[in-house]
């Protein structure tokens, strides 16, 4: 017998399952309450509006997609980190079809701004992780970066290309990692 969902995290787990199966459009207050086996009023206790539920769901999906992308304490070469990062995001895209292209369309005007802000938060987190890995990589050429070509600008370039590949559903990052190797490592 299924038991009723009783926590915010359990509700978000159900929401992630709905997104994975049917997309973000499947997440609405009545359907989520039904799937969680709780009264609609109980759901409103945790999420006062549909926008609040959608924003929390989007953030939860982003967390699920990026949870494995954080660097570990162990040093990892930057090119390998990017390959692993790309693979983690690819798995997330396959788990949540069309999430990257349509999730911002499901919000009210106020919700769209908050949705973009959450996405920017995750992009900033990705960038910080990438910079951390890049700066720890002992194999990077000492002259790889300059005042005009900074680590920060390089990581922005990498993020832009990772996102571009993924939005095109091009799941091969070998050219990108080869460019990284040629730019920052000695031959």
pLDDT band, very low/low/confident/very high, at 1 (cuts 50, 70, 90): very low
Give residue for tokens 């571009």.
164
pLDDT for the residue 113? 75
Contact 3, 37 (CB under 8 A): yes
- No. of helices (H) and no. of strands (E), the chain: 9, 0
pLDDT in tens, 136-181: 999 999 999 999 999 999 999 999 998 888 878 888 999 999 999 9
0.85 exceeded by pTM:
no
Query: Hey, what long-range contacts does 43-51 have (CB within 8 A, 24 or more apart)?
Result: 43/11, 46/8, 46/11, 47/11, 51/107, 51/108, 51/110, 51/111, 51/114
49 bridge partner residues: none
Distance between CA atoms of residues 172 and 57, nearest Å: 28
C-alpha to C-alpha distance for 49 and 32, rounded to whole angstroms: 12
Percent of the chain with pLDDT strictly greater than 90: 51
């Amino acid at each position: 017998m299924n038991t009723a969902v009783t926590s915010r995290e359990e509700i978000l787990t159900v929401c992630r399952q709905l997104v994975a199966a049917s997309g973000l459009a499947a997440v609405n207050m009545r359907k989520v309450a039904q799937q969680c086996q709780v009264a609609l009023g109980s759901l409103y206790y945790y999420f006062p509006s549909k926008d609040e539920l959608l924003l929390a769901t989007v953030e939860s999906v982003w967390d699920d997609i990026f949870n494995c992308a954080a660097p570990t304490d162990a040093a990892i070469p930057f090119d390998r980190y990017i390959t692993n990062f790309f693979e983690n995001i690819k798995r997330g895209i396959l788990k949540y079809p069309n999430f990257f292209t349509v999730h911002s369309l499901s919000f009210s005007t106020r919700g769209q701004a908050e949705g973009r802000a959450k996405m920017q938060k995750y992009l900033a987190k990705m960038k910080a992780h990438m910079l951390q890995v890049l700066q720890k990589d002992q194999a990077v050429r000492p002259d790889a970066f300059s005042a005009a070509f900074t680590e920060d600008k390089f990581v922005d370039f990498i993020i832009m290309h990772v996102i571009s590949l993924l939005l095109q559903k091009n799941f091969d990052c070998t050219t990108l990692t080869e460019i990284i190797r040629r730019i920052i490592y000695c031959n």
